[in-house]
Amino acid sequence: MAKTALVTGGTRGIGKAISEMLQAKGYKVAANYGGNDAAAEAFAKETGIRVYKFDVADFDAVGAGLKAIETDIGPVDVLINNAGITRDAPFHKMTRDQWQQVIDVDLTSAFNVTRQVWDGMRERNWGRIVNISSINGQKGQFGQANYSAAKAGLIGFTKALAQEGAKKGITVNVVAPGYIDTEMVQAVPEKVLEGIIATIPVGRLGKAEEIASICAYLSSDEAAFITGATMTVNGAQYIAG
Ligand code: CAA
């Protein structure tokens, strides 16, 4: 029977590509989103994928969202913790709000969603969890103390859960994208972005589909022996920097 996949932040950017690829691979997909109704409606119309609006930073809202998904489609077998925001500022200008929003949406969200699908995966002895980190969680980035901390946190979270899920057929992995051609990256000031692209040996931004394909592989039965891993998809930027 087709498995149910939930992609948080699944209607735009990298998440949209992941939702679409999982659908193409035969999963029943639920795409969560936080606020952009117009984009979500367009996405649902274009793909036929059901969309669910809830705030991944709010544990109770996540619980209600998961209940709706389970009723409509089924219990979540595959979870892609993709939702994320940036609030970039050099640390000497960073506010408490900028810190807290990024920690809540990019890191605590993974607890909020994973915790509420974990027991079901344990009971069914099967689960796939992919946490979308970032090259900037691996190497740190000027202007992203908040984001780098949250994305590095996801790597530790993954390594702990991989050990806990192993005997229950649940794999937990990280995909750490480099700079991908999405709205989030296009929001970086042009001059700054040009400088970043110059440090990517492949010589271009990545494509969202190039992240989606590794997520789809990690969500498959074939990937059962890959757990606790961090897959870097960055055009060799990290090793060259
Ligand atoms: N390294 C060293 N110094 C830097 C720097 C860098 N990367 N970037 C800026 N600086 C310096 C500037 O030269 C400047 O120095 P002076 O005061 O001596 O002139 C100082 O820092 C302050 O710079 P600004 O006045 O430009 O500061 P700002 O507050 O206007 O903006 C910034 C700073 C927000 C960090 C801006 O540089 C920026 O947006 N940088 C890009 C950050 C980034 O890469 N974000 C990734 C977003 S995409 C994403 O997150 C997806 C993913 O996972 C990859």
Q: State residue 203's pLDDT score.
A: 97
Which residue has a Cα nearest atom 4 of ligand 1? 142
Quick: pLDDT tens for 120-173.
Answer: 999 999 999 999 999 999 999 999 999 999 999 999 999 999 999 999 999 999
Q: Please check whether residue 152 is in contact with residue 146, taking contact to mean a CB–CB distance below 8 angstroms.
A: no
Domains of the chain (ranges; CATH) run 4-232 (3.40.50.720)
Task: Say what the alpha-carbon torsion angle 198, 200, 204, 207 is, to the nearest 10 degrees.
Answer: -140
* Whether residue 238 lies in the annotated active site: no
Quick: pLDDT tens for 202-224.
Answer: 999 999 999 999 999 999 999 99
Q: State residue 106's pLDDT score.
A: 98
Quick: pLDDT tens for 221-239.
Answer: 999 999 999 999 999 999 9
pLDDT tier, 1 (very low <50, low <70, confident <90, very high otherwise): confident
Q: Kindly state the average pLDDT of the residues 13-38.
A: 98
pLDDT tier, 4 (very low <50, low <70, confident <90, very high otherwise): very high
Q: Is the CB of 5 under 6 A from ligand 1?
A: no
What's the mean per-residue pLDDT of the chain?
98
User: pTM of whole model > 0.85?
Assistant: yes
Q: Is the CB of 98 under 6 A from ligand 1?
A: no
Q: State residue 241's pLDDT score.
A: 72
Q: Is the CB of 39 under 6 A from ligand 1?
A: no
Q: How far is the CA of 176 from the centre of ligand 1 (A)?
A: 21
Q: How far is the CA of 202 from the centre of ligand 1 (A)?
A: 22
